[in-house]
Chain A
Amino acid sequence: MIRLIEDLHIQFVCRIMVPLIQFFALYVIAHGHYSPGGGFQGGCILGASFILMMIAYDIEYVKKRFPEKFNTFMVAFGVFLYAAIGALCLILGAEYLNYGILHKILPADPVKVRALGTLGIEIGVGITVSAVMLSIFLNLSTFGKHEKSEV
């Protein structure tokens, strides 16, 4: 059970930290195929920023910005993005996940398109991982009830 404790220091630090953490998360996702990182790691960091908000403020506070239904949608949407990009290659006539073929619909040469395809998939993985992190934390901290915490 997470109770609301109005602590100015924690909330102030959190307010500064959360945007930085989220920005770094996006960097890790986007830069994943040139340096260590990628969708999973970036997604974890993104999810952690929401969890920090839950700890510093309240579950309700985060739920207002990130409704539960939306979170459920995001859990499925990320992986769906992954599978759909793969299936798009299939429809365009190449093998599953052969992103090179996406140059038929994107204005770039096959080599660049292959990198872009990987980025699309990393974004999908990142969305799912961050949403799953949030949903695991929500389930554990409220004993699966997802209710308003007792303030």
Chain B
Amino acid sequence: MNLSEHSSILIVVVPLIASFLNVFIGLWRRSLCYPLFLLALVICGFLSIDLIQNIINNGTIRYKLGGWMPPWGIEYVVDHLNAYVILIVSFISLLVAIYSKRSLEKELEESKLPYFYSTYLLLVTGLLGITVTGDIFNLFVFLEIASLAGYALIAIGENRSVLASFNYIIMGTIGACFYLLGVGYIYIITGSLNMLDIAQLLPKLYESKVTLAAFAFLVVGVAIKIALFPLHRWLPDAYTYAPSAVSVLASATMTKVGIYVLIRISFTIFEPNFSKDIIPAGTILVWWSTIAIIFGSILALGQIDFKRTLSYILIAEVGYMVLGVNLGNKEGFIGAVLHILNDALMIACLFMVTGGIYYYLKSRNIEDFVGLNKKMPLSMASFSIVALSMIGIPPTAGFFSKWYLIIGAIKAEQWIAVIALLFSSLVNAIIFFRILEKIYFKKGNSTKDINVKEVPVSMLIPILILATSVILVGLFSGKIISSIIQFTVPGGF
């Protein structure tokens, strides 16, 4: 068996099998669950590195599932964009797995841990499956696996998490149904489910009303899943009340994978000029996301609970990426794809630090963060780096993607979008400098005399790795763009 030939399927199968093995082992020896869980994610990490190297050297990988020829069988297609998102998902999920060990000990009963690990692995399976598949119905199946695992993981949090998860189920199911309806319409008119096959068959049918309905259903369905502005209501509650580790994983990977699906729909299944010339979907989404940026930023400013602040910032960040994808030029698209990586790193790090503060302090209230720099110096240093990146200060990663996005918006002459991007940076500056002032400069010790200290090493290491990679990605962003991202730009830009 040649391993790298099969790496695109193995990356889905390994977490899937490990998730069921975890249940068996959990019934027998509970202490062996965590090592198995970690091992599966480490293997995923290696496979994703193998995949991206393979693609940089040899180009697109196509894999026939079950030996059936496409377009009849399911085909897995991995190109630069897939490999890039797979690398992000497996890297973040490995770091969160390391982080989760200690944080879960305080937030979950020990008897439930094996089930947590297997649900976590199912979520990772779903997310990786969405990214590797080249079949729109298979994508729906993985979307449901990821969402169902996500609902379960969110519901095991604090008291109110059950209600939050229920709201998420309702919204998420509507989103999935819309997506499925879109797939159904496409299947009715083309008779195919393979993305590349559909891309060849569809252009003759662009004038058909069915095609327009299919496109609308697909885009709105995915917009619910990524919480784009008017459809975002489920997100803040779900991510605020979920356990810390789940918030990190969900916020850093689920929305990014959703953006990936949006890119696939707009530029692979449909040709880029469809959403520009035939219906003004690109323009509508630009306006939609501009409102998302402004709205998310303003609401983030008004929150007391820091996790909720981050959730609203995430809504604004989703706006950034959707904006960049739909600007219709190369700079905007590169900015959006680069921002998928940057935002995953930054949001994951911020949620991890919040979880770390909550670990001893038992509070996420911004007012309680006073004087934390003396007690948790390393976490707070990482927090500061990422905060600067969120604002967009040059050597950090956040600057570069914002730079590309603003250039793209100027080129597309979307002046309101430019203003929204600058406005959002300013609001981020207010939010984070206000917190940094509390952490570093404000006198007094309001940490309630609780014995707050630096978080355990296994939680600290992922935070430090993410903070370092925020700087490294910033420094090497030119290299990342020239070796991977420039190949993801669809033709015609």
Mark interface residues in B1-25 (1 if CB within 8 Å of A CB, else 0): 1000010011001001100110110
Q: Mark A77-99, 1 if CB is under 8 A from B, else 0.
A: 10110011011001101111111
CA distance in complex: A84, B16 (Å):
10
Q: Counting CB contacts under 8 A, is B118 at the interface?
A: yes
In the complex, chain B residues whose CB is within 8 Å of the CB of A69: 27
A76 is an interface residue with CB less than 8 A from chain B? yes
Contact A90 B6 (CB under 8 A): yes
A75 interface residue per 8 A CB criterion: yes
B16 CB to closest chain A CB (Å) equals 5
Answer whether A80 and B17 are a contact pair too, CB < 8 Å, given A95-B66, A96-B65, A98-B67: yes
As a 0/1 sequence over residues 50 to 85 of chain B, the CB contacts with chain A under 8 angstroms (1 = contact) are 000000000000011111000000000000000000
**B20 near A80 (CB under 8 angstroms)?**
yes
Chain B residues whose C-beta falls within 8 Å of the C-beta of A95 in the assembled complex: 6, 9, 63-67
In whole Å, how far is A62's beta carbon from the nearest beta carbon of chain B?
20
Pick from A76, A79, A86, A91 the residue with the most CB of B within 10 Å.
A76
Nearest CB in chain A: distance from B163 CB, A:
16
A83 contacts B23, C-beta separation under 8 Å: no
In the complex, the chain A residue whose C-beta lies closest to that of B22 is A76
Is A27's CB within 8 Å of the partner chain B?
A: no
Question: Could you tell me if A83 and B20 are in contact, using CB atoms closer than 8 angstroms?
Answer: yes
A72 CB-CB contact with B under 8 Å: yes
Q: Establish whether residues B1 and A93, one from each chain, have CB atoms under 8 Å apart when the complex forms.
A: yes
Q: Which residues of A contact B1 (CB under 8 A)?
A: 90-91, 93
B17: contacting residue among A72, A84, A98, A99, CB under 8 A: A84
B441 to chain A, nearest CB (A): 48
User: Which residues of chain B are near A94, meaning CB under 8 Å?
Assistant: 67
Interface: A120 (CB within 8 A)? no
Sorting the interface of chain B by its residue count into under 10, 10 to 19, 20 to 34 or 35 or more gives: 10 to 19
Instruction: Give the complex CA separation of A96 and B63 in angstroms.
Output: 10
Q: Are B118 and A76 in contact (CB under 8 A)?
A: yes
Residue of B nearest to A70 (CB): B27
Determine if B17 and A97 form an interchain contact, defined as CB atoms under 8 angstroms apart: no
The answer to whether A87 and B13 touch (CB under 8 A), given A73-B27, A95-B65, A98-B66, is yes
8 A Cβ contacts from B66-119 to A? 66-67, 118
Nearest opposing residue in chain A for B122, CB measure: A79
Query: Is A100 positioned at the interface, with any CB of B under 8 Å from its CB?
Result: yes
- Chain B nearest CB from A105 CB (Å) reads 15
Q: A76-B118, A77-B20, A96-B6 are in contact. Are A83 and B13 (CB under 8 A)?
A: yes
Provide the residues of chain A in CB contact with B24, threshold 8 Å. 73, 76-77, 80
Is the pair A75, B23 in contact by a Cβ cutoff of 8 Å?
yes
CB distance from B61 to the nearest CB of A (A): 13
**Chain B, Cβ-Cβ closest to A91:** B1
The answer on a CB contact under 8 Å between A83 and B27 is: no
* A128 nearest in chain B by CB position: B20
In the complex, A72→B20 CA distance in Å? 11
Q: Which residue of B lies closest to A96 (CB)?
A: B9
In the complex the two chains form, what is the Cα distance from A99 to B67 in whole Å?
9
Which single residue of chain A is at the shortest CB-CB distance from B67?
A98
Separation of A96 and B24 alpha carbons in the complex (Å): 23
CB-CB under 8 A for A97 and B65, given A90-B9, A90-B13, A91-B1:
yes
Q: Which residues of A contact B67 (CB under 8 A)?
A: 94-95, 98, 100
On whether the beta carbons of A83 and B66 are closer than 8 Å, the reply is no
Residues of A within 8 A of B (CB): 69, 72-73, 75-77, 79-80, 83-84, 86-87, 90-91, 93-100
Contact sample, A vs B, 26 pairs, CB 8 Å cutoff: A72-B27, A73-B23, A73-B27, A75-B23, A76-B20, A76-B23, A77-B24, A80-B17, A80-B24, A83-B13, A83-B17, A84-B17, A86-B13, A87-B13, A87-B17, A90-B9, A90-B10, A90-B13, A94-B67, A95-B9, A95-B65, A95-B66, A96-B6, A96-B13, A98-B67, A99-B66
Give 18 new A-B contacts, CB below 8 A, not counting A86-B13, A95-B67.
Answer: A69-B27, A73-B23, A73-B27, A75-B23, A76-B118, A83-B20, A87-B13, A90-B1, A90-B10, A94-B67, A95-B6, A95-B9, A96-B6, A96-B13, A96-B66, A97-B65, A97-B66, A100-B67
